Amino acid sequence: MAAAFKTILHGFLIGVANIIPGVSGGSMALALGIYERLIAAVGNLGLGTLTVVLGVVAFRDGAKTRFLAEWRRIDGAFLIGIASGGAVAV
């Protein structure tokens, strides 16, 4: 739970940085030590991720298993935490 709070806090700080003129969210991510993880997680998103999500929406067989594997591959919990914190800041 503490890790989730920390991730949301990092997202919040990145969101605040985006509001401040002259400060970028990327600079804040670098200062927080999460830049590499953030870039890797975003870089893992792609057409395959969309296909898996659509499979879940369409209730395809085995979609849950594929979704959970994809969720781990893209570091989904981290991305959701960062996005949630950023949304609160903006």
Encode the chain (90 residues) as per-residue pLDDT tens digits. 799 999 999 999 999 999 999 999 999 999 999 999 999 999 999 999 999 999 888 888 888 899 999 999 999 999 999 999 999 987
The answer to whether residues 82 and 4 touch, using CB atoms and an 8 Å cutoff, is no
Domain range for residue 17? Answer: 2-89
Distance CA 35, CA 28 (A): 8
Q: How many domains does the chain have?
A: 1
Distance CA 45, CA 43 (A): 5
